[in-house]
Amino acid sequence: MKPDYVSIFDTSLRDGEQAPGASMTSAEKLEVARALARLGVDVIEAGFPAASPDDLAAVQAIAAEVGQAPGAGRPQAEPPIICGLARCTRGDIDAAWQGVRGAQRPRIHTFLATSDLHLKHKLCLTREEMTAKAVEMVAYARSLCADVEFSPEDAGRSDPEFLYKVLAAVIKAGATTLNIPDTVGYTMPDEFGALIAGIIKHTPGARDVIISVHCHDDLGLAVANSLAGLRAGARQAEVTVNGIGERAGNASLEEVVMAIRTRGAKLGLQTGIDTTQLCRISKLVSRSTSYPVPPNKAIVGGNAFAHEAGIHQDGIIKNALTYEIMRPQDVGATHTMLVLGKHSGRAAFAKRLAELGYALEGDALLKAFHEFKKLADRKKSVQDADLIALASDERATVPELWALEHLQVMCGTTGLPTATVRLRDPDGKSRTHAAIGTGPVDASYKAIDAIVNLPVELLEFGISAVTEGIDALAEATVRVRHEEQRAAHGHGADTDIVVAAAKAYVASLNQVLSRQPSGPAQHPQKAGTPSEIST
């Protein structure tokens, strides 16, 4: 590997997915992993296998597919390294190994805090006990897997002298990558650069392993800190798409990569990323997590290359370099193109979906194609964004336990908004209910609640037009929480926003039900009497 090459370690599926409400289904994680492989990331942290059987299964699926054959379009010949996170315990490390061992290039990533604050208040360990545990667990991980990464959590607030000792000991025990996290996003770039430089200088064996940076954005400095660490000698950057992650999130992949690309000569760094895929993967992750990308987001925001002020437009017309340091096409920020029309066949439809990162098959493909034909009849031009919305809606991410068969709504400025809903239950029977609400969506949700009878708290509700023009598809996203579980979310796309909202709600309830430990057949359920009115 060239000395200036920076490995891009994407943790969207682990640290990103840890963000409140950003949870993805296994199918969504697999789709994002495929897109990350095509993008050219060197390492995919696919999850935290000890967290739950679902997490383990998702990591295994990614290791088996993306970790074996990354598919067409990947800039590198080798598949990405597939990494699983583990606390410093045998159980976690065993689970991580179960998760990643199916990959061609597996990695176990284990961590233990080194700051006195964490040792005293969270772990109740002395420095000596911490060191012994880290050494023992790194050696154990190494006995399973040739590629072991160790992270001293809260390194940014740890005593540097102690850090050097711990790191030297874990290198001896077999660690091949040392990741230095600024866990709480507290450091300034010069401090973080000095921390990395100090580690490389004072830790015996540090020059024989890869030093990695992992920065959080609590003070808006994650990208600057990552670059400072890389300039000080680190050669792996842990990042997430759109900067998702705990609290204010992680350093954003697209910003770190484009800073290196744009200022590579000054920084003396390069990456293996195909930057023209950045906008596409940003949209995929935004959709999968329901985290919006604001127009003023660097690199991938809708306005990152837009120029409204007359002065700037004038400059741009005279010479794009006056206000642009990157070209829109470098990051894939081209206008959505008309790709398919009403005469397009199923093969062309499936091919374009695959190019967009959606591998639909069988019934899901047929259903999406049917929806596409309906849309093409109503809408002059079907754009990529429409296709993505259809595919997101139709892909079988969770079992469709309940399905929306029929919805009819009356509403307006006067009168009582009323909705009649017919759902197909998990046994295939139709159940109908009508309800009155404060608006058409409230009425529909009340009718659905009366049928499904699963108490959830509605955390978030949003509707957006997917493409330009109001005759385009509307996409609804809802986030709900059942009891103390993790938030579930659902999408629905339709030209009718009330129908989209009802589809999204049913999808979110299906996600909650499919997570029930007793299995989907055992969910709480009470049939509504057909045509009964509730308020």
- Helix extents (H) in 232-383: 253-262, 264-267, 278-289, 310-318, 346-355, 362-378
Q: What does the per-residue mask of binding to its own copies show for 382-401, with x meaning CB under 8 A? A: --------------------
Query: Can you tell me which of 194, 200, 210, 219 binds its own copies, judged by CB under 8 A?
Result: 219
CA dist 482 and 191 (Å) reads 43
Residue 415 interacts with its own copies (CB under 8 A)? yes
Q: Cβ neighbours of residue 497 under 8 Å, at least 6 residues apart? A: 463, 474, 476
Q: Which is nearer to its own copies, 191 or 363 (CB)?
A: 191
Query: Can you tell me which of 73, 200, 459, 520 binds its own copies, judged by CB under 8 A?
Result: 459
Q: Which is nearer to its own copies, 415 or 519 (CB)?
A: 415
Residue 462 interacts with its own copies (CB under 8 A)? yes
Give ∠ CA 213-214-216 in degrees, rounded to 5.
Answer: 135
Query: Can you tell me which of 90, 201, 247, 370 binds its own copies, judged by CB under 8 A?
Result: 247
Q: Evaluate whether 440 touches 407 at the Cβ level (below 8 Å).
A: no
Q: Quick count: other Cβ atoms within 10 Å of Cβ 71?
A: 14
Q: Which is nearer to its own copies, 96 or 206 (CB)?
A: 96
Q: Evaluate whether 122 touches 111 at the Cβ level (below 8 Å).
A: no
Q: Tell me, by CB under 8 A, how many residues bind its own copies.
A: 122
Cα torsion angle, 487, 30, 466, 250, sign = positive
Q: Which is nearer to its own copies, 65 or 394 (CB)?
A: 394
**Residue 157 zone, left/alpha/beta (φ > 0; ψ -120 to 50; rest):** alpha
Which window, 27-35, 198-206, 258-266, 392-400, contacts its own copies (CB under 8 A)?
A: 258-266
Which window, 54-62, 100-108, 287-295, 331-339, contacts its own copies (CB under 8 A)?
A: 287-295
Q: Give me the least distance between CB of 11 and its own copies, in Å please.
A: 13
Q: Please choose, from the candidates 34, 42, 35, 105, the residue with its C-alpha nearest in 3D space to the C-alpha of residue 68.
A: 105
Range 193-212, binding its own copies (CB under 8 A): none
Which window, 29-37, 172-180, 424-432, 463-471, contacts its own copies (CB under 8 A)?
A: 463-471
Residue 318 interacts with its own copies (CB under 8 A)? yes
3-state SS assignment for residue 169: helix
Cα torsion angle, 315, 319, 320, 321, sign = negative
3-state SS assignment for residue 113: strand
Length of the chain, in residues: 535
Q: Give me the least distance between CB of 406 and its own copies, in Å please.
A: 5
Q: Give me the least distance between CB of 69 and its own copies, in Å please.
A: 32
Query: Can you tell me which of 308, 427, 483, 484 binds its own copies, judged by CB under 8 A?
Result: 308
Residue 281 interacts with its own copies (CB under 8 A)? no
Residue 121 interacts with its own copies (CB under 8 A)? yes
Residue 305 interacts with its own copies (CB under 8 A)? yes
Q: Which is nearer to its own copies, 33 or 497 (CB)?
A: 497
Which window, 125-133, 254-262, 392-400, 508-516, contacts its own copies (CB under 8 A)?
A: 254-262
Q: Which is nearer to its own copies, 324 or 355 (CB)?
A: 324
Cα torsion angle, 152, 154, 155, 158, sign = negative
Q: Which is nearer to its own copies, 397 or 420 (CB)?
A: 420
Query: Can you tell me which of 159, 191, 361, 363 binds its own copies, judged by CB under 8 A?
Result: 191
Residue 329 interacts with its own copies (CB under 8 A)? no
Range 472-491, binding its own copies (CB under 8 A): 474, 486
Name residue 111's beta-bridge partners.
Answer: 87, 151
Q: Where are the beta strands (DSSP E) in 37-194?
A: 43-47, 81-87, 106-113, 148-153, 177-182
- Burial (CB count <10 Å: 0-12, 13-18, 19+), residue 323: middle
Q: Please choose, from the candidates 269, 237, 268, 232, the residue with its C-alpha nearest in 3D space to the C-alpha of residue 254.
A: 237
Residue 331 interacts with its own copies (CB under 8 A)? no
Residue 501 interacts with its own copies (CB under 8 A)? yes
Q: Which is nearer to its own copies, 70 or 437 (CB)?
A: 437
Range 128-157, binding its own copies (CB under 8 A): 154
Which window, 135-143, 159-167, 414-422, 506-514, contacts its own copies (CB under 8 A)?
A: 414-422
Q: Quick count: other Cβ atoms within 10 Å of Cβ 124?
A: 8
Residue 158 interacts with its own copies (CB under 8 A)? no
